Amino acid sequence: MVVHEHGTVESVEGARARVRLQPARPEQCAHCRACRPAGQGVVLLQVEAGDLRPGDRVTVEVPLPGPWHAIGLVLAMPLAAMVGGAVLGAESRSLQQALGLGADAAAILTGLAVAVVALVVTTWRERRFRRRCRPRILAVHRPPGPEGGFA
């Protein structure tokens, strides 16, 4: 899913620009974490500066994971891993002997351990998605220059 928003460049610091957005549909922005809230329905977004200048109006594209992607990462993967680990712990006699536990305790321990590993992997994948799919500027609309034309 991709969200397009309009905003104003607030400042440019080095290779990064801070864009002030007032999202038309704030519910789409509620969980993306690409922006940070600035109060009163306004959010601030960091983008690559390029040739942006303070005061430029911009159109920003923010890629977001879909709701099914989030459900899969946060709920389905760890839950499936926990069930699979529990079955492995309950059925594997060699694992039970290696841990020195009975079938029930081995199932619980293996299920929890595999679920934690799955949660770490899904957290890593979500961070990787955020690094790969950064917000980008689609269009720049500069205010008129002093001569009456566009700058």
pLDDT at 38: 59
d(CA 40, CA 19): 15
Residues 30 and 75 in one domain: no
Model pLDDT for residues 13-58, shown as the tens digit of each residue: 888 888 877 766 666 565 555 666 556 666 667 777 778 888 888 8
Residues 56 and 71 in one domain: no
DSSP 8-state assignment for residue 142: P
pLDDT at 117: 92
**Helix/strand/coil percent split, the chain, to 5:** 45, 30, 25
**Which residue in the block uniquely carries the two structure tokens 């926990």?**
82
Residues 94 and 55 in one domain: no
Task: Print the domain residue range for 27.
Answer: 2-65+134-141
Residues 75 and 111 in one domain: yes
* 98 belongs to a structural domain: yes
Q: Is the pLDDT of residue 150 over 60?
A: no
Residues 7 and 61 in one domain: yes
Are the CB atoms for 7 and 54 separated by under 8 Å?
no
Residues 12 and 56 in one domain: yes
Model pLDDT for residues 70-117, shown as the tens digit of each residue: 777 778 888 899 999 999 999 999 988 998 999 999 999 999 999 999
Residues 8 and 61 in one domain: yes
Please count the structural domains in the chain.
2
pLDDT at 6: 80
* 8 belongs to a structural domain: yes
Are the CB atoms for 114 and 81 separated by under 8 Å?
yes
